[in-house]
Amino acid sequence: MAGDFPRGQTAIAGIATYGIGECPGHTTMEMAAKAGLLALADAGMPLSQVDGLFICLPDDVLAGLSFAEYLGLSPRFTDCNRTGGSAFLSHVATAATMLAAGYIDTALIAYGSNQRSGGGKLSTPVGSNVWEAPYRPLFPASSYALAASRHFHEFGTTRRHLAEVAVAARAWANGNPEAFATGPLTIDDVLAARMLSSPLSVKDCCLVTDGAAAIVLTRTDRARDGAKPLVPVLGAAVATWHNAISQMPDLTTTAASESGGRAYAMAGIGPSDVDVVQLYDAFTINTILFLEDLGFCPKGEGGRFVENGGIAPGGHLPVNTNGGGLSCCHPGMYGLFTIVEAVRQIRGDAANQIPGVDIALAHGNGGTLSSQATVILGSAATL
């Protein structure tokens, strides 16, 4: 059962990013607020119309309250839901159903992080639980490494396969002026990089950058007169199976297999209908797991799917066309950036524009392969 979803009844009317890469001297609030104002300007809507607020900030668990105060909003609904980096895609599910029900009229989803300028380390209030912490895994890298070790064992996936993911992300980043990490990167570079938590080297890990993003959601009938092409939300589904990696039911199958299946059913499409894919690539193994779990290749075939530039420019499926968390930006929670790039691709103004995009899939990951959220966006032609 997919669950009821108001397919196409809501649309993303505005998007923005701000401060991607390095944004010295800014607070997380300043960055998120700037992105929010830019997204509203993009939508051609006044700030006063926002009556639904969805936000995460790395340093404020009550960010929704603080953000409302900061911009002088008085939302009818405020959501500080944090399911890790998938939170913002989860926000889309909540906002879309509330908008369609008439509970709210205009939703703003925002995020900002200054983790690079602020300290240079992954900014997260989260860590290993009490059953794992005594063994000192690197959080979260070792959790993903354990999943990768199992994928290697069961399916013959190799470090070279992982490296393909990093190299593809860099190739896309090299065409995106907004991307933080650019320049040549080869398979051999990744294989020779310093090992962090085997089989993951430092080049298998996402960036540590600053960055903010925001999107504006409203009902499709209100978005039709906007300045930008209509980007309706066709499906949004969320699934959580565990938190700690030691409790993941199967280390090689994520809850994306559930969220993806439900999102496809809501949208009335399948993987073969998707023109461009944006996945939360906190680590190279993520991309392989999500390509499998979202049905772009059979389970276990993800490594071979990305071989020979399979997801790089000119490959058989365009994945993470902005450079992803591996080479575009990773401010700590990357999820919202998957939606921004998906919207740009449908609007037709992405840096690495894929011709004729009608359907884009954005997928967020939270925790340690734990919380999964899939959003399927369409063009006006899909309504």
Partner 1 sequence: MSEAAPQAQWRAALAEGRFLLQRARGSGTIFFPPRLAEPRSGDTDWEWIEASGFGTIHAVTVIHPRPPEPPRAVALVDLDEEVRLMSEVEGLPAEDIAIGLRVRARIGERDGAPILLFQAA
Residues that bind partner 1 (CB under 8 A): 131-132, 134-138, 142, 145-150, 153, 194-200, 244-247, 251
DSSP state of 203: G
- Please identify which residue in the block is written with the tokens 């998938």: 86
Supply the minimum distance, in Å, between the C-beta of residue 206 and partner 1: 17
Considering beta carbons, is residue 218 or 253 the nearer one to partner 1?
Answer: 253
Could you give the angle at the alpha carbon of 251 between the alpha carbons of 245 and 253, nearest 5°? 125
Supply the minimum distance, in Å, between the C-beta of residue 133 and partner 1: 9
Instruction: Give the residue from 45, 53, 92, 88 showing the smallest Cα distance to 74.
Output: 53
Supply the minimum distance, in Å, between the C-beta of residue 139 and partner 1: 11
Supply the minimum distance, in Å, between the C-beta of residue 195 and partner 1: 5
Supply the minimum distance, in Å, between the C-beta of residue 147 and partner 1: 7
Report H helices in the chain. Answer: 28-43, 63-71, 87-100, 115-118, 141-155, 159-173, 187-192, 220-223, 256-267, 284-293, 302-306, 335-347
Percent helix, strand and coil across the chain, each to the nearest 5: 40, 20, 40
CA 158, 161, 166, 170 torsion-angle sign: positive
Considering beta carbons, is residue 252 or 338 the nearer one to partner 1?
Answer: 252
Considering beta carbons, is residue 51 or 258 the nearer one to partner 1?
Answer: 258
Supply the minimum distance, in Å, between the C-beta of residue 145 and partner 1: 4
Supply the minimum distance, in Å, between the C-beta of residue 150 and partner 1: 4
State the Cα–Cα distance between residues 370 and 374, nearest whole angstrom. 13
State the distance between the two ends of the chain, measured CA to CA, in whole angstroms.
22
Considering beta carbons, is residue 140 or 323 the nearer one to partner 1?
Answer: 140
Q: Cβ atoms within 10 A of the Cβ of 194, count?
A: 7
Considering beta carbons, is residue 179 or 251 the nearer one to partner 1?
Answer: 251
Q: Are residues 89 and 372 in contact, defined by beta-carbon separation less than 8 angstroms?
A: no
State the Cα–Cα distance between residues 206 and 173, nearest whole angstrom. 13
Q: Are residues 96 and 77 in contact, defined by beta-carbon separation less than 8 angstroms?
A: no
Considering beta carbons, is residue 49 or 246 the nearer one to partner 1?
Answer: 246
Considering beta carbons, is residue 141 or 269 the nearer one to partner 1?
Answer: 141
Considering beta carbons, is residue 202 or 227 the nearer one to partner 1?
Answer: 202
Considering beta carbons, is residue 132 or 275 the nearer one to partner 1?
Answer: 132
Supply the minimum distance, in Å, between the C-beta of residue 204 and partner 1: 12
Q: Are residues 39 and 130 in contact, defined by beta-carbon separation less than 8 angstroms?
A: no
Q: Are residues 208 and 329 in contact, defined by beta-carbon separation less than 8 angstroms?
A: no
Instruction: Give the residue from 85, 152, 135, 94 showing the smallest Cα distance to 329.
Output: 85
Supply the minimum distance, in Å, between the C-beta of residue 249 and partner 1: 9
